[in-house]
């Protein structure tokens, strides 16, 4: 793999310096800590703050969603490694507007341990914290064992709901409950055809034969549910939608939002070829698509592949999806 970076030790810091210099009016370092990125106008008095974070290598997850209508801040770890407890704590203190902080992040062990300890120490300092894990990847836990699942592109919908709800002036408990309920209707599944290489590592995170693909591959290269011969866009999309609809029942007449996401290297052109098929399948089933998103929303460096996320909607969630957001990577409304 050919790449452009200076050296692996400075990879994350130089990326963050670049983002901060590109968006000086939107983002800032919390208390001078470059691994703790807050929205420029934080803390927002009287609003519940939404904080996320995790390893680097997934842009625009996480700090690409820091800004009006989404996150108040994100703690940034090394590539594929959780940020430190102290980076989370520093950020928490910097963004708390007096109404409490929701920790909203993906279901990964390292992130949980660091966020849990940050929550304990923040609470000792009088900041109210609730934690909510995003666990939308159906490949990483059987139905009935949803709490084992990893968090992937569904993070984007979690941020949309929590951010909009917090902007309405809801309490910490209300933001938590609303987002938790919404996440019960969010399911994702990915497929990979080529791996990524972590800067500094001597080899890719996994190997796949030229004619192989792996359904359910995790965004750090975690094993998926089946490895098989590559199929056409239409065939693999059909398989994935079937698996998703096995997991979450959506009836004809109901509405969903669809997110077709590139894992990094797969181009927009291919994403729209996939979206075309998703739309056709759902149309046949009389499932209405309310608000589609197609693009790079949660990636894994230069991994080639894509994921599909379905979000079962009601009127309230539709309203929240329409809520304006203004961040480095997403600007709507």
Partner 1 sequence: MTIQLQAEDVKKIFIQLAETFTREKDFLNDLDSKIGDGDHGLSMSRGSNAVMKTLENNPGFSIYDMLTKGGMQFNEVTGSTIGILIFSAMRAAGLAIKGKDIICLKDIRVMLQASIESIKKRGKASKGQKTILDSLIPALEYLEEQEDSTDESLVIKGMIDKAHEGAQSTKNLTAKIGRAKWFSNRSIGVMDPGAYSGYLALHAIGKYILKNINLNNSK
Residue 323 appears among annotated catalytic residues: no
Closer Cβ to partner 1, 79 or 241, answer by number: 79
Q: At 225, which helix (H) or strand (E)?
A: none
- Measured CA distances, 238 to 32, 131, 267, 277 (Å): 48, 35, 19, 8
> Binding mask 110-139 vs partner 1 (x if CB under 8 A, - otherwise)?
x--xx-xx----------------------
Closer Cβ to partner 1, 49 or 300, answer by number: 300
Among 168, 222, 247, 302, binds partner 1 (CB under 8 A): 222
Residue 58 appears among annotated catalytic residues: yes
188 binds partner 1 (CB under 8 A): no
A 10 A CB-CB count for 266 gives 23
- Measured CA distances, 265 to 27, 299, 305 (Å): 27, 9, 7
Give me the DSSP letters along 150-190.
PP-TTHHHHHHHHHHHHHTT--HHHHHHHHHHHHTTEEEEE
| Stretch of residues binding partner 1 (CB under 8 A), selected from 182-190, 193-201, 289-297, 310-318 | 193-201
Quick one: how far is CA 240 from the chain centroid?
A: 19
The DSSP output letter for 129 is E
302 binds partner 1 (CB under 8 A): no
Closer Cβ to partner 1, 67 or 195, answer by number: 195
Looking only at the bridges linking them, the beta strands covering 255-262 and 226-229 are unpaired
Closer Cβ to partner 1, 55 or 163, answer by number: 55
In this structure, the chain runs to a length of 333
Biggest CA-to-CA distance, the chain = 56
199 binds partner 1 (CB under 8 A): no
| Stretch of residues binding partner 1 (CB under 8 A), selected from 22-30, 108-116, 251-259, 314-322 | 108-116
105 binds partner 1 (CB under 8 A): no
* C-alpha closest to that of 293 among 305, 311, 280, 277: 311
What's the CA gap between 83 and 76, in Å, rounded?
5
State the minimum distance, in angstroms, from the CB of residue 180 to partner 1.
21
2 binds partner 1 (CB under 8 A): no
The label of the residue with tokens 């793999």 reads 1
Closer Cβ to partner 1, 83 or 328, answer by number: 83
| Stretch of residues binding partner 1 (CB under 8 A), selected from 82-90, 179-187, 235-243, 251-259 | 82-90
Among 81, 101, 155, 193, binds partner 1 (CB under 8 A): 81
Residues binding partner 1 (CB under 8 A): 55, 77-87, 108-110, 113-114, 116-117, 140, 198, 200-201, 203, 205, 218, 220-223
Give me the active site residues, please.
Answer: 58, 220
């Amino acid at each position: 793999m050919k790449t452009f970076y200076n050296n692996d030790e400075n990879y994350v810091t130089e990326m963050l310096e670049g983002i901060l210099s590109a968006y000086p009016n939107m983002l800032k370092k919390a208390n001078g800590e470059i691994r703790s990125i807050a929205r420029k106008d934080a803390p927002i008095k009287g609003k519940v703050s939404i904080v996320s974070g995790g390893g680097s290598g997934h842009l625009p997850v996480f700090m690409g969603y820091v800004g009006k209508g989404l996150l108040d801040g994100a703690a940034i770890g090394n590539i594929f490694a959780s940020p430190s407890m102290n980076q989370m704590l520093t950020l928490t203190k910097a963004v708390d507007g007096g109404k409490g902080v929701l920790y909203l992040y993906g279901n990964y062990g390292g992130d949980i341990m660091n966020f849990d300890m940050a929550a304990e120490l923040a609470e000792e300092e009088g900041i109210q914290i609730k934690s909510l894990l995003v666990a939308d990847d159906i490949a990483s836990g059987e139905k009935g064992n949803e709490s084992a699942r990893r968090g992937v592109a569904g993070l984007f919908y979690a941020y949309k709901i929590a951010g909009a709800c917090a902007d309405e002036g809801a309490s910490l408990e209300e933001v938590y409950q609303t987002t938790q309920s919404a996440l019960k209707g969010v399911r994702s599944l990915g497929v990979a055809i080529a791996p990524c290489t972590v800067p500094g590592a001597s080899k890719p995170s996994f190997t796949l034969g030229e004619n192989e693909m792996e359904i359910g591959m995790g965004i750090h290269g975690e094993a998926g549910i089946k490895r098989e011969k590559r199929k056409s866009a239409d065939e693999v999309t059909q398989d994935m939608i079937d698996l998703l609809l096995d997991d979450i029942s959506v009836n004809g007449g109901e509405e969903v939002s669809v997110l077709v996401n590139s894992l990094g290297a797969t181009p927009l052109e291919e994403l729209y070829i996939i979206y075309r098929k998703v739309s056709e399948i759902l149309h046949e089933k009389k499932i209405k698509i309310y608000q589609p998103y197609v693009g790079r929303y949660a990636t894994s460096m230069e991994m080639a592949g894509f994921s599909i996320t379905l979000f079962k909607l009601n009127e309230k969630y539709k309203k929240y999806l329409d809520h304006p957001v203004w961040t480095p990577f997403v600007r709507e409304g």
